[in-house]
Amino acid sequence: MFREKTRVLVTGGAGFLGSFLCERLLAQGCHVICADNYFTGSRDNIAHLLDNPYFEVIRHDVTIPLYVEVDRIFNLACPASPIHYQFDPVQTTKTSVHGAINMLGLAKRTKARILQASTSEVYGDPAVHPQREEYWGNVNPIGPRACYDEGKRCAETLFFDYHRQHGVAIKVIRIFNTYGPRMHPRDGRVVSNFIIQALAGEPITLYGSGEQTRSFCYVDDLIDGMIRFMDTGEEHVGPLNLGNPGEFTIRELAEAVIRLTGSKSKLVHEPLPADDPKQRRPDITRAGELLDWQPAVQLEEGLTRTIAYFDRLLSTGTGHADARRAAER
């Protein structure tokens, strides 16, 4: 019997996670529409997909309504690194809140299932460790991270209210620090910063003591969990933690990057940014039970793959336009 391809909208599809998601959905036989305003994403991330007749790209800002006919929506549009989301904080809140309203309105009209890429930042500087989905968080509502944290919290509220009030089929995931190839080379996140500094032989910038912790998930594992969750029954709405529970201090991360790159870079201390969470580790019991999922790529392996990507980018200038410019300086 002839079966239509599933039509999937990925907002933020030209970004780091979005581009891998588009790639995986196309490989599964979906028709993918990528909507992105290229604030932090790049055409380079999706250039290899443009020849696929089932891949469509729309330059679009999610704060503006969007009328397309789709079956599923992955709402990833939002800058994710502190430097980028603090660059224009009002726009960051608008992207999360107006973007959620528009995409939920679209889901309501088309009866599409919609997944929200929420974040571990909804737990703020957590007083409970590791973080379980039941924890309500510890967020400063007026600090420099609030545009992101509170925007994402409000988006979660909207998702659950559209679900309760309008019967929209929702899925909310809370993503913990995820890294890999195609991260924006100048977005200031810790993994890309440390790798680029180590490869260039420049000092590695530890903010504060370096004793704060994070748990780092390799991109392939995250995308796998995200797609599995979208495919679960409609009664499973989340929120669902997705991340790698391996917890490291930022100093340990720096030491691992130095070792794996063979770099002679030294560690230097810089001031800790305001409201920087002291510790973060996901409790992924719920995802494990529901999805039969757990991360497969451990830190050393994931870092090795990511280092190979940035090494190629910086030495050959192929790939991300910003990396090319960085390499030319």
Residue 322 beta carbon to ligand NAD: minimum distance, rounded to whole angstroms: 11
The only residue of 22, 49, 77, 287 in contact with ligand NAD, by rule CB under 6 A: 77
Beta carbon nearer to ligand UDP, 9 or 226: 9
Per-residue binding string, ligand NAD, 163-192, x by CB under 6 A, is: ------------x-xx-----x--------
CA distances from 155 to 83, 101, 147, 158, 174 (A): 21, 8, 12, 5, 12
Identify the three-state secondary structure at position 156: helix
Compute the Cα dihedral for 44, 29, 104, 235 and give only its sign: negative
- Among positions 81-100, residues that touch ligand NAD (CB under 6 A) are 95, 99
Out of ligand UDP, ligand NAD, none, which partner does residue 18 contact, by CB within 5 to 8 A per kind?
A: ligand NAD
Question: Is residue 39 part of the contact set for ligand NAD (CB under 6 A)?
Answer: yes
Among 62, 307, 93, 323, which residue's Cα sits nearest to residue 191? 307
Residue 275 beta carbon to ligand UDP: minimum distance, rounded to whole angstroms: 9
Residue 87 beta carbon to ligand NAD: minimum distance, rounded to whole angstroms: 11
Beta carbon nearer to ligand NAD, 99 or 302: 99
E strand residue ranges, the chain: 7-11, 31-36, 55-59, 72-75, 113-119, 170-175, 178-179, 204-207, 213-215, 217-218, 240-242, 247-249, 267-270
DSSP letters along 57-77, please? EEE--TTS------SEEEE--
Among 73, 47, 34, 58, which residue's Cα sits nearest to residue 226? 73
Beta carbon nearer to ligand UDP, 49 or 177: 177
Among 169, 185, 55, 56, which residue's Cα sits nearest to residue 103? 169
Question: Is residue 124 part of the contact set for ligand NAD (CB under 6 A)?
Answer: no
Stretch that binds ligand NAD, among 38-46, 102-110, 162-170, 290-298 (CB under 6 A): 38-46
269 DSSP β-pair partners: 206
Residue 159 to residue 152: CA distance in whole angstroms: 10
The only residue of 106, 114, 198, 314 in contact with ligand UDP, by rule CB under 6 A: 106
Residue 176 beta carbon to ligand UDP: minimum distance, rounded to whole angstroms: 8
Out of ligand UDP, ligand NAD, none, which partner does residue 82 contact, by CB within 5 to 8 A per kind?
A: ligand UDP
Stretch that binds ligand NAD, among 39-47, 164-172, 232-240, 276-284 (CB under 6 A): 39-47
Among 115, 82, 119, which residue's Cα sits nearest to residue 243? 119
The only residue of 8, 9, 10, 15 in contact with ligand NAD, by rule CB under 6 A: 15
Residue 156 to residue 238: CA distance in whole angstroms: 10
- Among positions 195-214, residues that touch ligand UDP (CB under 6 A) are 205-207, 212, 214
Residue 214 to residue 278: CA distance in whole angstroms: 8
Identify the three-state secondary structure at position 171: strand
By the criterion CB under 6 A, which residues form the site for ligand NAD? 11-12, 14-18, 36-41, 61-63, 76-80, 95, 99, 117, 119, 175, 177-178, 184
By the criterion CB under 6 A, which residues form the site for ligand UDP? 65-67, 81-82, 101-102, 105-106, 108-109, 177, 188-190, 193, 205-207, 212, 214, 250, 272-273, 276
